[in-house]
Amino acid sequence: MKTLNFSVNLILLLFVSMLTLANDNADKNGNIKGQIIDQKDGSPVGYATVSLNNKENVSVGGGLTDNEGRFRIKNIPYGNYTLVVQFVGYNTLQQSLKITSPNTDVGQISISENVEQLDEVEVRAEKTSIERSIDKKVVNVSDAMIAEGNSVSEVLQTIPEISVGSDGAISLRGESNVRVLIDGKPSQIDPAQIFQTLPAGSIEKIEVITNPSAKYDPDGLSGIINVITKKDKMKGLNGSANIGAGSGEKYNGYLGLNYRIKKFNFFGQGSYGENRFENQKDLKRIYADETIPTFDQEGENIRKGRYYNTKFGADYFLDSTNTITLFAEIWNWKGGEENLYINNNLQGDQIISSQKEFGDQKNQAQGYSLSLNHRKEFKKGILESDGYFNGGESDFSTSSTLEQDKDRNSSVNTDARWNYASLKIDYSHEINEKSSFETGYKGELLDASAQISNNLGGVINNYSYDYDQYINSLYGSYSITLGQYSIKAGVRGEVATIDGTVKTESGQDTTYNINYASLFPTLHIQRKLGDFNTLGVSYSRRINRPGIFNMLPIEQRSNSSTVSVGNPNLQPSYTNSISLDHGYNKGKLGLNTSVYVRHSTDIIRNVSRYDSLEDLTVYTWANLGSSLTGGASISANYQIAKWWNIDANLNFFYLEIQDDNEEFTVPSDANPINWTAKLNTRFTLPKHFTIQIMGRYAGQQYDAQNITQPTYALNVAVKKAILKRKGSISFKVDDIVNSGFTKDVFGRNFQEQTYYLQERPVYRLSFSYAFGGQFQGRKARKLHSSGGMN
């Protein structure tokens, strides 16, 4: 509690300091508005970039024009500036501007077409910058070198504050309960598994929202990660393609096509990824009772994964204010593992018994999605409705065969089906130039079922599992600008129901029901300090709902030494999160700093105990108690020279867990300080060559029963632009150095250590090419199926 009070007081002190500094620096500010039009025919140029630069040619404000070419830039201190207008296919315009009044109307500004650029767009830029708004940040990765030939998991490894474990598990700011979305939609298959095979070349950008506003779902204690796939908006036929191969049977490819004509925009894309890794996987279990032999398992592991999807759809522009978007997607995922174990029982250093064990895991899922979106723009408001449906089926099976103890052989087969549907309606309204509000509704339905067959030593038990989840929510938020302050406050109200029934052949059925109503308030305050600094504070309340299989009370063995079982008594976990953020951008240096505190109750953790009668480790899920996390993150981008750029990130946090019964927590001597560091440096060389070196390090970390030892890895990539810079060839070496992954589990009367070392190094070769016509400017429309969380 003392730690919590200290952390909260620290945040409050920093916030008061921010207010004091803001009042001391209050200056006269003005707003600018205008319209960008085509010089030739006077038609509006939508989605052009407009920026206002100071005398040092550093942007102090700006944005994109709307579909009528209009723009507005707010809260600019009085003074002399240069207005810069840029758009693909047009000449850049620069115009001097002096701000001396609260409101300045520059009227219509004409820009002329660049005939050379109109012939064909040439893709050059590597968008790796971080865009920060009042409630989220966006990482542009579409043309980054790391995105070529790799999977989405490998791209996530490079993003500040995000960590990816050896099994693909994703965490944000040290918390593994993070809401992961694909194009703004949830996946019924674990995204961590899909991302290990989904080609990164199909990704446009990644949104990271640590304290989402009331408009967003409250799921995920540490926030939301939204992976957005590519979609073009150029007129005519255009698209991009990439193909890659890696050592040890690793392949991926992507093709995206877009055709835009008059009132229609047709789009389609397909991606394919396949990986095979040969790994080392060892386990050692030591008991407090020294008379019990030590269990030592040495394993060879082959992990396979394959994923492909096809998406196609169309935008229909009824008029300048109405757009309808329809898309459909089909996908297929297949994964699995083959394991060969040598199980030894040791007394001291002497092997007293040994036998082989063969393990096999096969997972396959397939499904389809449908989405219909309508967007209506009013003079001062936007109404958007979105209907989404996802259906699918999966077949998961595991088997374990021992060389001698046949009565411990086991297999589990799970056939599952699901239907998920959601309806979302959002309305935003501009009250005046300084204030606005937004409100909306979302309803969700998940209907799932599974048939489970459990075979242990020839004894078969069959189960059926039915699961239903209903969530209805309403939200509202209000935004206002007061001088240099931007304030956004909101609240989301939610009513949820979860029903589960497990039926057995013996008639011993298990049912559970969770009903709860919750309020999720949010607050975001942002302040500009001069031309280069932005300071903000944010707060949100969030929830972690028990997963569908976390509550399934059926034993499922992955091998002879490990079994997992769900807990139908799980309850939701809630967290209160506060973050203080600072951004600095001047010239060649960009710096982002965050200080954050999270306090969570009824935290859900995967915990383990040793079953001496069955001689195996039992993993289950439990509500432990409360946790306190406080930390800081620093990210920097610096251009040392025209040919040399570096990105660095340091994230460290303190974690304290209070377990109500003290059964599952780490010993008191565990280090509560966790930290990670990432460094990415890029060299631009003559002849269109680029070299990139990426390294990461994570210090010792703990959570509940687990202590993970330090890990590190190093990757290198070389890229050569070809075909008039419309294409590129990349060669990468992943995991030149890799420490492997060591985790210690501290249970009552036993300690267990696992070691996992993935295949290394991995060599990858890829080719990318982009083609197409001119960018749609004068008749641009916003495309609404891009998946961004606007």
The torsion angles phi and psi of 475, rounded to 5 degrees, stand at: -140, 160
Dist. CA 773–CA 37, nearest whole Å: 21
Closest-CA residue to 527 (of 489, 581, 578, 490): 581
Dist. CA 314–CA 233, nearest whole Å: 11
Q: What is the pLDDT of residue 539?
A: 96
Instruction: Name which residue leads in pLDDT, 686 or 29.
Output: 686
Q: What is the pLDDT of residue 517?
A: 94
Q: What is the pLDDT of residue 789?
A: 58
Numbered ranges of CATH 2.60.40.10 in the chain = 29-119
Percent pLDDT > 90 in the chain is 45
Q: How many Å is the maximal CA-CA distance in the chain?
A: 90
pLDDT band of residue 182 (cuts 50, 70, 90) is: confident
Dist. CA 699–CA 167, nearest whole Å: 18
How open is the CA angle 678-198-335, to the nearest 5 degrees?
A: 110
pLDDT band of residue 790 (cuts 50, 70, 90) is: low
19: CB partners within 8 A, 6+ apart: none
Q: What is the pLDDT of residue 130?
A: 63
Give tens-digit pLDDT for 563-585.
999 999 999 999 999 999 998 88
CATH 2.40.170.20 corresponds to the domain 236-771: yes
Q: Are 744 and 283 in contact (CB under 8 A)?
A: no
Numbered ranges of CATH 2.40.170.20 in the chain = 236-771
Asked if residue 410 has pLDDT above 50, the reply is yes
Q: Are 274 and 249 in contact (CB under 8 A)?
A: yes
**Which CATH architecture best describes the domain 29-119?**
Sandwich (2.60)
Dist. CA 426–CA 213, nearest whole Å: 13
Cα–Cα distances in angstroms (integers) from residue 4 to residues 222, 595, 664, 682, in the given order: 17, 14, 22, 40
pLDDT band of residue 16 (cuts 50, 70, 90) is: very low
Asked if residue 93 has pLDDT above 70, the reply is yes
Give tens-digit pLDDT for 113-127.
765 443 443 433 344
586, amino acid identity: K
Q: What is the pLDDT of residue 231?
A: 67
575: left (phi over 0), alpha (psi -120 to 50) or beta: beta
How open is the CA angle 409-410-415, to the nearest 5 degrees?
A: 160
- Which residues of 348-380 form beta strands (DSSP E)? 350-377
Cα–Cα distances in angstroms (integers) from residue 77 to residues 21, 98, 328, 455, 483, in the given order: 16, 10, 48, 73, 10
The torsion angles phi and psi of 38, rounded to 5 degrees, stand at: -75, 130
What DSSP character marks residue 136? -
Percent pLDDT > 70 in the chain is 87
Q: What is the pLDDT of residue 20?
A: 44
489: CB partners within 8 A, 6+ apart: 477, 478, 521, 522, 523, 524
The residues with which 757 forms a beta bridge, in sequence order, are 280
The residues with which 604 forms a beta bridge, in sequence order, are 623
Cα–Cα distances in angstroms (integers) from residue 406 to residues 401, 446, 537, 556, 614, in the given order: 7, 40, 60, 17, 14
Q: For the chain, how far is it from start to end, CA to CA, in angstroms? A: 37
Dist. CA 238–CA 234, nearest whole Å: 7
Asked if residue 780 has pLDDT above 60, the reply is no
Dist. CA 482–CA 60, nearest whole Å: 18
- Burial code (b: 16+ CB inside 10 Å, e: under 16) for 677-714 equals bbebbbbbeeeeebebebbbbbbbbbbbbbbbbebebb
SS3 content of the chain, % helix, strand, coil (to 5): 5, 65, 30
Give tens-digit pLDDT for 336-393.
999 999 999 999 889 999 999 999 999 999 999 999 999 998 888 999 999 999 999 9
Q: Which residue has the tokens 């446009």?
A: 204
Q: Are 605 and 703 in contact (CB under 8 A)?
A: yes
Q: What is the pLDDT of residue 4?
A: 42
Q: Which helix (H) or strand (E) holds 193?
A: helix 191-195
pTM: 0.80
Task: Give the pair of three-digit tokens for residue 761.
Answer: 């190094």
Does a cis peptide bond (omega within 30 degrees of 0) precede residue 761? yes
What DSSP character marks residue 723? T
